Amino acid sequence: MTFYRAPRLLPGGSFCFFTQTNTLKGEKMPTRYSPIVSLLFLLVVATSFLFAQGTVTLLDQLDSYSSYASCWGYTSPDGREYALIGAFNGTSVVDITDGPNSYEVDFITGSSSSWRELKTYRHYGYVVNESGGGMQIIDLSDLPNSATLAATYTGFTTAHTVYIDTANAMLYCEGTTGQPVRVISLANPLSPVQLTTFGIDCHDMYVHNNRCYVAEGFQGTVGVYDVTNPASPTLLQRIGIPASGYVHNVWTTEDDSHFMTTEETSGRTVKMWDIQNLASAFITDTYLSQPSNLAHNVHIKGDLAYIAHYGDGLKIVDISDPTNIVEVGSYDTNTGTTGFVGAWGTYPYYASNKVIVSDISNGLFVLAYDEGGGIPCGDISSFVSRCIAGGTIRARIIMTNATHAGEMVEFMIDGTPYPATIVTGGTGVTRAQVAIGGFGAGPHTVELSDPAGCFSPIVVMCATAEKADAEWTEDELDAAVPVKTGLLGNYPNPFNPSTTINYELGEDSWVTLKIYNSLGQEVASLVNTFETAGYKAVFWNGLNTKGETASSGVYFVRMAAGNSVLTQRILLMK
CATH number of the domain encompassing residue 553: 2.60.40.2550
Asked whether residue 1 is domain-assigned, the answer is no
Q: What is the total count of domains within the chain? A: 4
Q: CATH number, domain at 219?
A: 2.130.10.10
Residues 446 and 487 in one domain: no
Residues 468 and 485 in one domain: no
Asked whether residue 433 is domain-assigned, the answer is yes
Given a contact cutoff of 8 angstroms between Cβ atoms, the answer to whether 196 and 183 are in contact is yes
Given a contact cutoff of 8 angstroms between Cβ atoms, the answer to whether 61 and 366 are in contact is yes
What's the rounded Cα separation, in Å, for the pair 207 and 225? 9
| pLDDT < 70: residue spans in the chain | 1-54, 372-374, 426-427, 464-483
Strands across the sheet with 211-215, in order?
204-208, 211-215, 221-226, 234-240
Beta bridge partners of 56: 369
Asked whether residue 246 is domain-assigned, the answer is yes
Residues 415 and 551 in one domain: no
What's the rounded Cα separation, in Å, for the pair 86 and 107? 10
Of the candidates 536, 522, 572, 538, the residue with the CA atom closest to the CA atom of residue 552: 572
> Using the 8-state DSSP alphabet, how is residue 436 labeled?
E
Percent helix, strand and coil across the chain, each to the nearest 5: 5, 50, 45
Of the candidates 319, 478, 469, the residue with the CA atom closest to the CA atom of residue 390: 469
Q: Which residues contact 188 (CB under 8 A, 6 or more apart)?
A: none
Q: What is the pLDDT of residue 427?
A: 66
Residues 272 and 399 in one domain: no
What's the rounded Cα separation, in Å, for the pair 290 and 95? 33
b/e burial code for range 420-435 (CB count within 10 A of at least 16 → b): bebbeeeeeebbbbbb
Q: What is the pLDDT of residue 327?
A: 94
Residues 146 and 248 in one domain: yes
Residues 497 and 402 in one domain: no
Residues 337 and 421 in one domain: no
Residues 19 and 138 in one domain: no
Q: Domain limits at 517?
A: 481-574
Asked whether residue 517 is domain-assigned, the answer is yes
Domain end point (choices 344, 370, 396): 370
Residues 25 and 155 in one domain: no
Q: What is the pLDDT of residue 363?
A: 97
Residues 295 and 342 in one domain: yes
Q: Is the peptide bond before 451 cis (omega within 30 degrees of 0)?
A: yes
Asked whether residue 228 is domain-assigned, the answer is yes
Task: Let me know how long the chain is.
Answer: 574
Q: CATH number, domain at 421?
A: 2.60.40
Residues 345 and 270 in one domain: yes
Domain end point (choices 334, 351, 370): 370
SS3 label, residue 379: helix
Domain end point (choices 480, 499, 520): 480
What's the rounded Cα separation, in Å, for the pair 486 and 484? 6
Rounded to two decimals, the pTM is 0.65
Query: CA angle at residue 104 from 103 to 110, to 5 degrees?
Result: 165
Asked whether residue 93 is domain-assigned, the answer is yes
Asked whether residue 137 is domain-assigned, the answer is yes
Asked whether residue 3 is domain-assigned, the answer is no
Beta bridge partners of 103: 95
Residues 42 and 109 in one domain: no
Q: Which residues contact 483 (CB under 8 A, 6 or more apart)?
A: 506
What's the rounded Cα separation, in Å, for the pair 142 and 152? 18
